Amino acid sequence: MATNYEYDDDEFNDEPTDVVKQLRKVNRTLEKRQKELEEELGNFKNQARQRTVKDVLTSKGINPKVSAFIPEDVATSEDAINEWLNENGELFGVNQTNAPESKALPSVDLSAQARINNIVSSGEAPLVQEDSLAKILNAKNANELNSILGITTF
């Protein structure tokens, strides 16, 4: 009588087959590649953060070497860096009220703009005969068009 408790020895062989060996090898290769990519991503993130922080500091007229003292947990947004500078800037001689970005704009001489506005408000629209585009479009022949455009032909 056959029982269900009889097992085939080949099914429970402890030695891995060729397929299992190949899969393990592929798995090790993929895990190694994943670690390399994660390290590379970490390096890129670190470089991008450093570049962004230095750019923000430079745009504010602050020595970019201060970026070495900004903790990693501070976000790279301009607002987060400004907040950190407000809290800790005095340690580095950075006063946010004296930063170039917060200075008032110098007064601009608006006299030229006023002259342009006066001319525009009091000027008259050109007549159709005086309009260059109208002259070009109304040219009757090539010689007339050349004379309007200032082209001399030989």
Q: How many domains does the chain have?
A: 2
Place of tokens 């455009």: 149
Residue type, 40: E
Question: Is 3 part of any domain?
Answer: no
Please tell me the distance from the alpha carbon of residue 65 to that of residue 49, in angstroms, as a whole number. 14
Is 86 domain-assigned?
yes
pLDDT, position 128: 55
Q: For residue 134, tell me if it sits in a domain.
A: yes
Q: Nearest Cα to 53, choosing from 70, 33, 32, 34?
A: 70
Same-domain pairing of 68 and 123: no
Count CB atoms within 10 A of the CB of residue 61.
12
Same-domain pairing of 82 and 34:
yes
- In a shared domain, residues 136 and 86: no
Q: What is the pTM of this model?
A: 0.44
Domain of residue 144: give its range: 111-149
Per-residue pLDDT of the chain (154 residues; tens, 9 = 90+): 555 666 555 555 566 678 999 999 999 999 999 999 999 999 999 898 888 888 888 888 888 888 888 888 888 888 888 888 888 878 777 765 544 454 556 667 777 777 777 777 877 665 655 677 888 888 899 988 898 888 887 6
* DSSP collapsed to 3 states, 57-120: HHHCCCCHHHHHHCCCCCCCCHHHHHHHHHHHHHHHCCCHHHCHHHCCCCCCCCHHHHHHHHHH
Written as six digits, the tokens of 14 are 């402890």
| Domain co-membership, 72 together with 117 | no
CA–CA–CA angle 8, 14, 18 (5° rounding)? 100
State which of 83, 102, 121 marks the end of a domain: 102
8 in any annotated domain: no
